[in-house]
Structure 1
Amino acid sequence: MTNGHHSDLPASSATDAQDASETYQRFLTDLFGAIAYGELSAFERMSSDARFSPTLHDRATLGRLAVHEYAHFEVICTRLTAMGVDPEEAMRPFQASVDAFHDRTRPADWYESLMKFYVTDAISDDFYQAVASWLDAETNSLIQGLKATEQPGEILQGRLKVALADDPRLASRLALWGRRLVGEALTQAQRVVVERAFPGSLLEGQGREAVDAEIKALIAQLTRNHSKRMSLLGLTA
């Protein structure tokens, strides 16, 4: 995709190219705004919940993961600023729905907090990386690069496995909690798709059926990925 156009293009073609470029820039503003607010929220949740960790090691681990989330937030804000966009303005449209999601999924204890991080952050990563694969190379590289060298999912998975081994009674509760979380997270992802035209604006010209098929395939892939992650914990999705 290119934002430029040739000077010898007919006026109508030049206008179409400019409109397409502006539509794409609005799409990127929405995309980065959604990611930025998600990262900021993750930082806040991890920082807050770290206080309830059963050990100092756990507290330090969550604190380190929170720092990663904030670093990602800063990367996205830097990109928005470079685009001439106020990061706060870009994030604001997503604040109410993201906050409502977290209000609906308040963990009952520290173990449910870990499961929430494990499930929802992974689904968010999968969602945005899938969308990024449809974008220009620079944007795709930026979003794919947000995956930290130290994978939070692997760290959380390891800690949850220890907790489940120490107290097998947690299994049924966390499995049920995981099922609720994935339902809420997928509903949230679909809401973002509908309200902010992800990824419809990228698939213009393909027809409504093609767009719906792309969205359906994306949600199905997110669900499969979640099932695999739950299986790694020995839990049923």
Structure 2
Amino acid sequence: MSISASAADDSVSAGELSARYDNFVVDLLGSIAYGELSAFERLATDARHSPSLADRAVLGKMAVAEYGHYESMCARLNAIGMDPELAMAPYQRMVDAFHERTRPADWHESLMKAYVVEAITEEFYAAIAKNLDEPTQLAIAAVRTSDEQLAALTALLKKMLAEDPRLSSRLALWGRRMVGEALTQVQRIGAKHSFLVGLRPDGTQEQAAAEVAVIVSALTRNHSRRMSQLGLTA
């Protein structure tokens, strides 16, 4: 829900609380926007290495969707009077470094990275968005990977594992690395830009860290469930 003057106490004015909330929303939307732009670039590049045209089409469609999500975030930032480029700038180095650290060695690892990282980041932002105003909630909800695309990606991974069972151990290990990197990344972003601190008049870094920890626990459980669907150990 959004923050109103009634939420403020004696130590925090309504104006200060509103400004804090607005900064929080801009930070959040900026991080999502740059993440979506980076996902578009990564998927478009990975699609060129697909073993078949059908596989290339699956990743190509996902890349197009990611670019649409990026445009949606930019539209929301423009609607609240914020320059998207300025909102994204604080996240560029951090997100680029993440993708450099997690560069896939081949097509198989590219698919697993998409499967793990997209789900975790989307769930993280969705969990935070529950606390926000309705227009922002709707904007963030619109950048979720569609069920159709997720099903297509899952089918590709299952097909790949069925055709070459030797991939199982390597991709299970790669998946564990991806979830570790992704969870560290969302915690790092949250800590650096004070996510959740701006949502209440008495918000502190410690409270924000505790709430992020609860979210991360849920993300870990959901990841384990998704890996089990592939027949892999998380």
Aligned residue among 109, 119, 138 for 2:116: 119
CA distance in 2, matches of 1:93, 1:209: 22
Identity value in percent? 53
What secondary structure does 2:48 align onto?
Answer: helix
Instruction: Point out 4+ residue stretches in structure 1 off by more than 6 angstroms.
Output: none
Q: 2:127 aligns with which of 117, 125, 130?
A: 130
Q: Structure 1 residues 149 and 211 mapped into 2: Cα distance closer, same or farther (>3 Å)?
A: closer
Question: Which residues of 2 match residues 57-206 of structure 1 at below 5 A?
Answer: 57-205=54-202
Residue 20 of structure 1: which of 10, 17, 20 is its match?
Answer: 17
AA of the residue aligned to 2:28: L
Correspondence for 2:33 among 33, 36, 57: 36
Structure with the greater alpha carbon radius of gyration: 1
Gaps of 5+ in 2: none
For the 8 Å contact 2:76–2:139, the answer to whether it is kept is no
Equivalents in 2 of 1:207, 1:96: separation in Å? 26
Instruction: Give how far 1:5 is off.
Output: 5.8
Shift of residue 203, structure 1, vs aligned partner:
4.3
Q: 2:210 and 2:5 mapped to 1: Cα distance?
A: 31
Name the SS for the 2:13 alignment partner: helix
Q: In the alignment, what sits opposite 1:214? A: 211
In structure 2, the partner of 1:236 is 233
Per mean C-alpha deviation after superposition, the further-off stretch among 168-177 and 209-218 is 209-218
Q: Tell me the distance in 1 between the aligned counterparts of 2:104 and 2:196.
A: 31
Tell me the distance in 1 between the aligned counterparts of 2:5 and 2:113. Answer: 46
**CA deviation digits over 1:85-126, x for unaligned, max 9?**
111110010000100000000101001000000000110100
- Residue 211 of structure 1 and its aligned partner are, at CA, apart by 3.3
Q: Is the 8 A contact 2:78 2:84 kept in 1?
A: yes
Contact 1:203 1:211 in 2 (8 A): no
Checking the alignment, whether the CA contact within 8 Å between 1:81 and 1:87 is kept in structure 2 is yes
1:178-198 Cα distance to aligned partner (Å, 9 max, x none):
000110101101101110001
What root-mean-square deviation, in Å, do the aligned CA atoms of Structure 1 and Structure 2 show?
Answer: 2.0
Relative to 1, partners in 2 of residues 1:209 and 1:5: Cα closer, same or farther, differing over 3 Å?
closer
Question: 2:50 and 2:153 mapped to 1: Cα distance?
Answer: 13
Unpaired segments of 5 or more residues in structure 1?
7-11
Q: Which residue identity does 1:28 align to in structure 2? A: V
Q: Is the 8 A contact 2:30 2:88 kept in 1?
A: yes
Aligned residues of 2:197 and 2:207 also touching (Cα < 8 A): no
With the length of structure 2 as denominator, give the TM-score of the two structures.
0.92
1:210 CA drift (Å) = 4.0
> For the Cα contact (< 8 Å) 1:42–1:66, is it kept in 2?
yes
Decide whether aligned partners of structure 1 residues 28 and 168 sit closer, same or farther in structure 2, where only a CA change above 3 A counts: same
